[in-house]
Amino acid sequence: QKEVEQDPGPLSVPEGAIVSLNCTYSNSAFQYFMWYRQYSRKGPELLMYTYSSGNKEDGRFTAQVDKSSKYISLFIRDSQPSDSATYLCAMTIYNFNKFYFGSGTKLNVKP
């Protein structure tokens, strides 16, 4: 079993839709959760991070962590065609030296 599981999609939605992207994990020691966005032919770039259970909001993006269920989510409100990318979740133990990635969900937002 992989440490982090993520539905690969692809997920296709119309512009303006609310998008929900999810990851599950098996290691209850994970404390620090990140979402990276990767455009085609580019490297992943950090979108958001959270360091506890609960929600964190940044503009149209909300990251949610449910440690009891070992489940994290990224919500995108009012999705735009420019949001079309692969979204990778990543997590780690604070002050460890390794990140664990999900395999990414490909999102396509249609105009």
DSSP H/E element including 6: strand 4-6
Residues 6+ apart with CB under 8 A from 56: 48, 49, 50, 62, 63, 64
Neighbours of 67 (CB within 10 A): 15
Supply the minimum distance, in Å, between the C-beta of residue 78 and another protein: 25
101 binds another protein (CB under 8 A): yes
Residue 95 found at the interface with another protein (CB under 8 A): yes
Which residue, 42 or 77, has its beta carbon nearer to another protein? Answer: 42
Assess 96 for contact with another protein (CB under 8 A).
yes
Closest CA to 33 of 77, 93, 76: 93
Query: Exactly one of 21, 34, 63, 65 binds another protein (CB under 8 A); which one?
Result: 34
Residue whose CB is less far from another protein, 12 or 77: 12
> In the complex, what is the shortest distance from the CB of residue 87 to another protein, in angstroms, rounded to a whole number?
10
The binder of another protein chosen from 3, 12, 42, 55 (CB under 8 A): 42
The three-point CA angle 28-105-110 to 5° equals 145
